[in-house]
Chain A
């Protein structure tokens, strides 16, 4: 077990109690902030090397959003850490009843390659805030970022309590042999079914998990909508990071008329964003690896290429592409696209769209566009997904007061903002009773009598208000 030494070192640090005081946690979080400030340029460069991530995007997701989470946490940590006093019943009026937020211990954070800093750093913020030690396992696929994190994070964080482990599948498998007190995984749910593998490994130690997976996020566009704005918002969400976003609108559902209307609007939006030749735009990314590039290129045979479709293997460039008249049986509809390709599936009406969505595994996000708020609400109410955004894409995850997570195949658990802190804390129910007033306890002790039972019932019973008690 090659990682046993590392894990037990962290566990010893954990048992020493050093991660528990608020001052320690604040110091580590502030150090993370300095990491983001000092290494900003290196982060932009590494992510550009890894997947041609435009620096505007990298700044937004890897720096700005992370700093927001950091500041929300630092601003509120004191309150979040406090014991949460709860309402008491009659019998416990003189006692102290509260929920204590205990750290779990040594946690493992496994991050993917598409937002390689953000997706380990935001969970790490919560893990540190909650008082845990952590092992961070960045993705080997975004290798420049992996190297940056492995080489520099240790200069900012306490090496006794936080460590970075690098490597691929074999290393991760060995790492998972160890017992962790929490495992936070962001990645794929499909092939390979890594989410299931992680949870099965966690089951051996009864380790609780959060799994942030993915799926095909449907985007329904109704006939009554502002086509220009829809096209912009959908294009933005689809082509951000060259489509390699777990919450990107995966495919569009609309009528054949709307498909006709959307096409020129989408073309205009793409041109507005990336110019006449997106390959030359500094604002359009590349595919992360040859394997992913080949996979995506094979999807271009679905439906017909209405916009884009150009590729360049050497650069791993795939143009912002829209596929029209895609069939449910087409390759593009069999797996999460995770690239700059937007398939449009034609349906007759909203009901058909809802049935289409409900016939498939529950996705991480569902999008619905309509000028008619009733339509948006219908889609929301009659479907199920991790999250939902009406009349826009992606934006719901930038609001830290909303929980971010999946359901069913798209994941379990949630985070962002306070939810991350809560994810990495054990909520311990505590009742601190009075040693006196022992006579009040008599009804519960044997020998049992009808009178005692009556007393117990009257003190413990919760009566339903608003019911007629006259009878």
Chain B
């Protein structure tokens, strides 16, 4: 407890010193982060491989490329984002200065997750630094190699007092959450999200919660199944299904279920070869606990493809389940593994109803050649974000806010949205001490004449 108090206290003192506020300082820190990612690329990839058996290509394209892009974008745009924003004035304020001033919040806490352990601490960190805050970084202890690496590297490149890294598990995080922060960004699951928000409530700390849910994927009869299934296969099985925005389950007409299975099978062979286990491009489940959890979801299900598991290496083969009952266990919680249930529905109306009966998901996917149908599904449902005719990709456009709604979260970030999340927008009105006559009409004594004017 005391240790956390000291770390946060130091960060707060460092913030109060004012040195994180000048734009030059922030850009210098971001540049240092950029150097870190470039110089330590090998170490970062090695840590990701050790934690998730992530191959170099995947690790680079999912975790490093995005971070470098975000850094470049932020350094480029920061002066424009941070500039005071003049606002439209009314008659009474015509001669005054009215603007929104972007200011840092203070000390921000970023809690990362284990599935994309590097990018999920780095991206929020970039936004928080850009907005001028001190940042306490708490990487997930489950992805322990990456956590260790982040704890070693950040102090080598960044201001040690302003941006400390705290490692540890539940007890350490619980301790950390008793401290006062000015914003908390948490990536993880819904249950812990509630705990984080309740802890934040004690200090009236605003939160951004990036949670999860079951992201539905509706495949219309009128669509190019080969293309649709290839894209779905990519998004579902990347990182062994451990992606918050992976298509969790498929909704489609029973008449195309067979074709969907065939197409996915064919794509899987194309991607990972005959023997998935020996493909260097296929990851593993993070640990035994999750392995057991995902494996148990297969019980009593019709396995149309896959189903092989190997506990020793936490391997679960890319699996497809057909004719899944909405009441089964695999349809209750977020799967977060390489198991793809197909639930059949007779129409898009049924699909929409099915989706709306459940908690709002982080992402929603719909495949169709019919633009109107896609528009309809978007309009009649709610979700954090949407990609039509593909999966995952809305995550990669930084001009789109990335976040959840309802049980899938609150708040958003990426690109400019990160900067705004970690800033206080302070309303400023600067008047003249002269020109008092225009004020007279608002002063008592009140009279009907004044009111009518």
B214 CB to closest chain A CB (Å) equals 15
Binds A, one of B109-117, B158-166, B199-207, B333-341: B199-207
- The interface residues of chain B lying within 8 Å CB-to-CB of A15 are 356
CB proximity of A366 to chain B, nearest CB, Å: 9
Whether A453 and B61, one on each chain, are in contact in the complex, defined by CB atoms closer than 8 angstroms, is: yes
Instruction: Report whether B281 and A448 are in contact in the complex, using a CB–CB cutoff of 8 Å.
Output: yes
CB distance from A58 to the nearest CB of B (A): 10
Q: Please state if B444 and A399 are interface contacts (CB–CB under 8 Å).
A: no
Number of chain B residues whose Cβ lies closer than 8 Å to a Cβ of chain A: 111
| B389→A435 contact, CB < 8 A | yes
B 369-391 to A, binary, CB cutoff 8 A, 1 in contact else 0 = 10100100010101111111110
**Chain B residue with minimal CB distance to A456?**
B61
Instruction: Find B100's partner among A370, A402, A434 (CB 8 Å cutoff).
Output: A402
Q: Does A173 reach chain B (CB closer than 8 Å)? A: no
Q: Does A408 contact B (CB under 8 A)?
A: yes
Q: How far is the CA of A204 from the CA of B434 in the complex (A)?
A: 51
**Known pairs A199-B204, A434-B389; A447 contacts B281 (CB<8 A):** yes
Interface residue from A17, A92, A398, A445 paired with B230 (Cβ < 8 Å): A445
Q: Which of B97, B209, B425 has the most CB of A within 10 A?
A: B425
> Distance in Å from the Cβ of A353 to the closest Cβ of chain B?
17
Bound-complex Cα distance A211 to B138 (A): 27
B450 proximity list for chain A (CB < 8 A):
56
- A206–B234 Cα distance when bound, in Å, is 31
CB pair B65 A401 closer than 8 Å: no
Within 8 A of B (CB), among A401-459: 401-404, 407-409, 411-414, 426-436, 438, 441, 444-449, 452-453, 456-457
Residue of B nearest to A419 (CB): B425
Q: B312 in the interface, Cβ–Cβ < 8 Å? A: no
Within the assembled complex, what's the spacing in Å between the Cα atoms of A399 and B86?
Answer: 12
**Which of the candidate stretches A249-257, A269-277, A327-335, A338-346 sits at the interface with the other chain?**
A269-277
Known: A230-B433, A398-B92, A399-B90. A414 touches B425 (CB 8 A): yes
Contact flags B41-82 to A (C-beta < 8 A → 1, else 0) = 000000000000001111011000110111011011000000
Nearest opposing residue in chain A for B371, CB measure: A432
B156 in contact (CB, < 8 A): no
Interface size band for A: 35 or more
Whole-angstrom distance between the alpha carbons of A466 and B393 in the complex? 28
Q: Which residues of A contact B105 (CB under 8 A)?
A: 407
- Bound together, the chains give a CA A81 to CA B154 distance in angstroms of 42
Question: Is B227 within 8 A of A438, CB to CB?
Answer: yes
- Does A464 belong to the interface (CB within 8 Å)? yes
Q: What is the CB-to-nearest-CB distance from B439 to chain A, in angstroms, rounded to a whole number?
A: 7
A200, B196: Cα distance in complex, Å? 10
Q: Is A401's CB under 8 angstroms from B399's CB?
A: no
Within 8 A of B (CB), among A336-367: none
> A196-B201, A284-B444, A387-B426 are known contacts. Are A464 and B76 too (CB-CB below 8 A)?
yes
A431 near B429: Cβ-Cβ < 8 Å: no
Q: Take A232-B439, A445-B234 as given contacts and tell me if A199 and B69 are in contact as well, using a CB distance cutoff of 8 Å.
A: no
Q: Are B427 and A402 in contact (CB under 8 A)?
A: yes
A244 at the binding interface (Cβ < 8 Å): no
Q: Which of B228, B367, B371, B451 has the most CB of A within 10 A?
A: B451
CB distance from A397 to the nearest CB of B (A): 8
Give the residues from 222 to 266 in chain A that come closer than 8 angstroms, CB to CB, to chain B.
225-226, 228-230, 232-233, 236
Chain A residue with Cβ nearest B393: A431
Are A389 and B429 in touch, CB under 8 angstroms? yes
In Å, the complex CA distance between A466 and B75 comes to 11
Docked-complex contact B430 and A376, CB < 8 angstroms: yes
Chain B, Cβ-Cβ closest to A210:
B206
Centre residue among A59, A402, A436, A465 by max chain B CB count within 10 A:
A402
Which one of B145-153, B167-175, B252-260, B403-411 is at the A interface?
A: B403-411
For B205, the chain A residues whose CB sits under 8 A away are 412
Whether A229 and B433, one on each chain, are in contact in the complex, defined by CB atoms closer than 8 angstroms, is yes
Determine the chain B residues whose CB is within 8 A of the CB of A412 once the complex forms.
204-206
Q: How far is the CA of A314 from the CA of B208 in the complex (A)?
A: 49
Q: Sample 10 A-B pairs with CB under 8 A, ordered by A number.
A: A99-B400, A200-B198, A283-B444, A380-B430, A396-B427, A427-B412, A429-B412, A447-B271, A456-B65, A461-B65
3 tightest A-B CB contacts, nearest first = A56-B446, A429-B400, A448-B57
